[in-house]
């Protein structure tokens, strides 16, 4: 079948596991390119891809949709600024040596430029640094090199970045050239390119939310490449749902909350480290009964708005601190006969108790065996929202609807997040999509 041949070609070329974004998304991209070329047969288009590398590049651009923003999930950036001086003090990085960082994939540049901003703010402690930024998308690289961004790129905290590092232009906000000089961009295909030919090793590699688009064997292949590119003390930062894969590949976790950071090497070669990611901007906030209760109330409110995210949410009163000290629910059986709902039932109960970190760990454990679980990504998105990262929540929820385009709760929560940041047009689009998903479910039943 022509469609299967095209999906295999995408996997062989860029490692894309079709189920990670869904057949609907891939088919839509193929149809769009067929329309642009006035080709009516999938078989004819598949043949074209086999003989025209430039058209394969165009299809890759269609399926690789960059979605990022400045300071996306800020914890790893802050942790980096605190961790690097410790590496210099320990002698892992010489005092005058240039810190080398890789951002892969770099998308349209927001991540590597965010790293540059954080390190520039701590320049005296961090020392000299340079960032290599790579992506498979030539369009993304071109936009990154231009370094002009619209307001949508500034979604997370620290929105004063626009005033400190950007100047308004007719087309958006132009990055300060002095900061831009720290970053070098290149088009790289992590699957097909021999990255050793770049003759570079790195102190830190950011590779966040790339592994989730690969199957297990491709994840192993990419992690092996990243491992070779790290210096002996090197650190790898990944995304929320990718930690279980990294821990199996000669990396050890660092005790840096919410950074999802791993150091190259065995446990014996890793010195203990604990870094507070909040010290760069504000003192840590001690937990309190009032705060815990507020988290639970916020959760229950979200459930009501989304029409029964957890069926028990409206049947139970809000939990108190005394309630949250009861034993954690037993994990559901995760054998091959279990459904996503059954396997994640414990997550719903942990969320009702306000145990966000435990709930996130359960989701990640479930994804280790069921990497295409839209329900797990939905819960991670909900957790990210409750932890205050609306941008991170959006990314996880979009992953959920890639895997299940009819996931009503994920679509509904995306609508709420869009409304919260004032994007009423996008919120209305999500509402219409949610209504279509509801009709689809009604038709099935």
Task: Report pLDDT for 107.
Answer: 92
Task: Report pLDDT for 156.
Answer: 56
Which of 322, 376, 331 shows the shortest CA–CA distance to 354? 322
Task: Report pLDDT for 88.
Answer: 87
Task: Report pLDDT for 275.
Answer: 44
Give per-residue burial for 49-75: e unless 16+ CB within 10 Å, then b.
beeeeebbbbbbbbbbebebbbbbbbb
Query: Can you give the pTM of this predicted structure?
Result: 0.63
Task: Report pLDDT for 302.
Answer: 47
**CATH number, domain 289-444, options 1.10.730.10, 1.10.1740.10, 1.10.10.60, 1.25.40.10:** 1.25.40.10
Q: What phi, psi does 155 have (nearest 5°)?
A: -115, -30
Task: Report pLDDT for 109.
Answer: 94
Query: The domain 75-269: what is its CATH number?
Result: 3.40.50.150
Alpha-carbon span 310 to 304, nearest angstrom: 9
Task: Report pLDDT for 197.
Answer: 59
- pLDDT tens string, the chain, 445 residues long: the values are 888 899 899 999 998 887 777 777 888 889 999 999 999 999 999 999 989 999 999 999 888 876 788 888 778 888 888 888 888 888 888 888 899 999 999 999 999 999 999 999 888 888 999 999 999 999 999 999 999 998 888 875 556 777 889 999 888 899 999 999 999 999 999 998 877 656 678 999 999 989 888 888 898 889 989 998 999 889 999 886 677 777 666 788 877 777 788 888 743 344 444 444 443 343 333 334 444 444 444 444 444 444 343 333 333 333 332 333 333 333 333 333 344 455 687 887 787 667 788 888 888 888 888 888 889 999 988 888 877 777 778 888 988 888 888 898 899 888 888 887 777 888 888 888 888 888 877 666 5
- Residue 328 burial (CB count, 10 A): 14
Alpha-carbon span 30 to 304, nearest angstrom: 39
Tell me the two tokens of residue 235: 């650190």
- Whether 69 and 161 have beta carbons less than 8 Å apart is answered as no
- Whether 8 and 23 have beta carbons less than 8 Å apart is answered as no
Q: Order of strands, edge to edge, in the sheet holding 99-103? A: 183-187, 129-135, 99-103, 202-206, 230-237, 261-264, 251-253
Alpha-carbon span 9 to 293, nearest angstrom: 51
- Whether 122 and 99 have beta carbons less than 8 Å apart is answered as no
- Work out the burial of residue 24: count CB atoms within 10 Å of its CB; fewer than 13 is exposed, 13-18 middle, 19 or more buried: exposed
Alpha-carbon span 416 to 73, nearest angstrom: 19
- Whether 190 and 136 have beta carbons less than 8 Å apart is answered as yes
Task: Report pLDDT for 76.
Answer: 86
Name the residue ranges covered by the structural domains of the chain. 2-63, 75-269, 289-444
**Chain CA centroid to CA 216, Å:** 18
Alpha-carbon span 70 to 73, nearest angstrom: 9
Tell me the two tokens of residue 413: 């929560």
What's the sign of the alpha-carbon dihedral 311, 405, 434, 429? positive
């Amino acid at each position: 079948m022509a469609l299967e041949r095209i999906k295999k070609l995408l996997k062989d070329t860029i490692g894309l596991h079709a189920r990670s974004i869904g057949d609907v998304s891939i088919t839509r991209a193929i149809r769009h390119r067929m329309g642009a070329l006035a080709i009516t047969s999938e078989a004819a288009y598949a043949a074209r891809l086999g003989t025209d590398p430039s058209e394969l590049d165009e299809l890759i651009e269609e399926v690789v949709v960059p979605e990022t923003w400045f300071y996306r999930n800020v914890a790893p950036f802050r942790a980096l600024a605190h961790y690097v001086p410790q590496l210099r003090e320990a002698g892992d990085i010489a005092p005058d040596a240039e810190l080398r960082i890789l951002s892969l994939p770099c998308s349209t540049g927001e991540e590597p430029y965010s790293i540059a901003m954080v390190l520039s703010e701590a320049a005296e402690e961090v020392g000299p640094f340079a960032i290599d930024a790579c992506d498979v998308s030539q369009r993304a690289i071109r936009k990154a090199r231009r370094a002009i961004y619209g307001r949508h790129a500034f979604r997370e905290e620290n929105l004063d970045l626009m005033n400190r590092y950007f100047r308004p232009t007719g087309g958006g906000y132009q990055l300060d050239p002095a900061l831009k000089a720290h970053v070098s961009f290149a088009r790289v295909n992590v699957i097909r390119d021999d990255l050793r030919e770049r003759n570079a090793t790195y102190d830190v590699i950011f590779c966040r939310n790339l592994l989730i688009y690969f199957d297990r064997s491709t994840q192993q292949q990419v992690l092996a490449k990243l491992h070779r590119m790290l210096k002996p003390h090197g650190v790898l930062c990944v995304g929320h749902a990718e930690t279980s894969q990294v821990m199996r590949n000669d990396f050890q976790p660092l005790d840096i909350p919410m950074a999802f950071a791993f150091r190259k090497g065995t446990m014996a070669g890793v010195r203990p480290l604990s870094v507070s990611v909040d010290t760069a901007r504000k003192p840590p906030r001690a937990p309190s009964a009032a705060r815990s209760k507020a988290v639970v109330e916020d959760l229950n409110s979200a459930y009501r708005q989304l029409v029964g995210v957890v069926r028990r949410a409206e049947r139970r009163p809000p939990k108190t601190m005394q309630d949250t000290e009861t034993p954690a629910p037993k994990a559901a059986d995760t054998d091959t006969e279990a459904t996503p709902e059954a396997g994640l039932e414990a997550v719903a109960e942990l969320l009702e108790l306000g145990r966000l970190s435990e709930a996130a760990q359960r989701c990640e454990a479930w994804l280790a065996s069921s990497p295409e679980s839209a329900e797990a990504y939905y819960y991670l998105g909900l957790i990210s929202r409750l932890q205050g990262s609306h941008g991170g929540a959006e990314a996880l929820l979009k992953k959920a609807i890639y895997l299940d385009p009819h996931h009503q709760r994920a679509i509904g929560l995306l609508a709420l997040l869009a409304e919260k940041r004032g994007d009423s047009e996008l919120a209305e689009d999500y509402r219409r999509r949610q209504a279509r998903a509801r009709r689809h479910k009604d038709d099935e039943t």
